Chains A and B, each alone.
Chain A
Amino acid sequence: DTGVSQNPRHKITKRGQNVTFRCDPISEHNRLYWYRQTLGQGPEFLTYFQNEAQLEKSRLLSDRFSAERPKGSFSTLEIQRTEQGDSAMYLCASSLNRVAEQFFGPGTRLTVL
């Protein structure tokens, strides 16, 4: 247990539905990252926050995806109108400033039917 929690751990949804995932980072960490990982591939960077500010978004993050970190603590990642290609593991990580060590949560596995 790294201290980063993600909920739910598994989500099965039908194509076209909206889903929301939550990440609770280590409490004193001001940086929070979202990654996506498909089977057999390494994680891909999606976006990151410093406190409540979203500082960078990957081109992978289409307009159906939105992430928030309203009070600089927990974060949510919402996917609207899900597609089968969204099926993946969604990983959250946190760190203190830009230090090298990111602590990853266990991930949320999304399956879109």
Chain B
Amino acid sequence: DAKTTQPPSMDCAEGRAANLPCNHSTISGNEYVYWYRQIHSQGPQYIIHGLKNNETNEMASLIITEDRKSSTLILPHATLRDTAVYYCIVSDNNQGGKLIFGQGTELSVKP
């Protein structure tokens, strides 16, 4: 079973920041937080991952709370092409790298 809880859907205005929350209250010390997204009819796409510290790359920022029980994925300037299902996943290297997906958050970016 997935170890994360996400809202089923969110809306965001084009050009605004999209903040997607994820709850992972049972995360263990060696588990990473990963974010993937899946645009309709495509395979999932890796976005970002982190352990304790906040992370940023060209696609997004990941903010992890100090107790690591929740995190937020931030898309700083959402575009229509960011409309997708976003998955928050926790996993450690002892699980062989397999990903356990939950239901994700369906983000709709509107003009």
CB of B98 within 8 A of CB of A41, answer no
CB of B100 within 8 A of CB of A45, answer yes
Contact count band on A: 20 to 34
- How many whole Å from A53's CB to the nearest CB in chain B? 11
Q: Which residues of B contact A4 (CB under 8 A)?
A: 43
Q: How far is the CA of A54 from the CA of B103 in the complex (A)?
A: 27
CB of B98 within 8 A of CB of A33, answer yes
Within 8 A of B (CB), among A43-81: 43-45, 48, 50, 55-56
CB of A98 within 8 A of CB of B93, answer yes
Q: Which residues of B contact A48 (CB under 8 A)?
A: 96-98
CB of A100 within 8 A of CB of B102, answer no
CB of B43 within 8 A of CB of A91, answer yes
Digit string of B93-111 for contact with A (CB within 8 Å is 1, else 0)? 1001111111110000000
CB of A100 within 8 A of CB of B34, answer yes
How many interface residues does B have (CB within 8 Å)?
A: 21
Nearest-CB residue, chain B, relative to A109 = B41
A93 within 8 A of B: yes
Known contacts A41-B103, A91-B43, A106-B42; A100/B49 CB under 8 A: yes
A22 within 8 A of B: no
Within 8 A of A (CB), among B49-88: 49, 85, 87
Q: How far is the CA of A100 from the CA of B96 in the complex (A)?
A: 10
Q: How far is the CA of A70 from the CA of B93 in the complex (A)?
A: 25
A82 within 8 A of B: no
Q: Which residues of A contact B96 (CB under 8 A)?
A: 48, 50, 55-56, 98
Q: Knowing that A35-B99, A55-B96 are A-B contacts, what are 19 other residue pairs whose CB atoms are under 8 Å apart, sorted by A's residue number?
A: A2-B45, A33-B99, A42-B103, A45-B99, A48-B97, A93-B43, A97-B97, A99-B97, A100-B32, A100-B34, A100-B97, A101-B46, A101-B49, A102-B46, A102-B99, A104-B43, A104-B44, A106-B42, A107-B42
Residues of A within 8 A of B (CB): 2, 4, 31, 33, 35, 41-45, 48, 50, 55-56, 91, 93, 95, 97-107
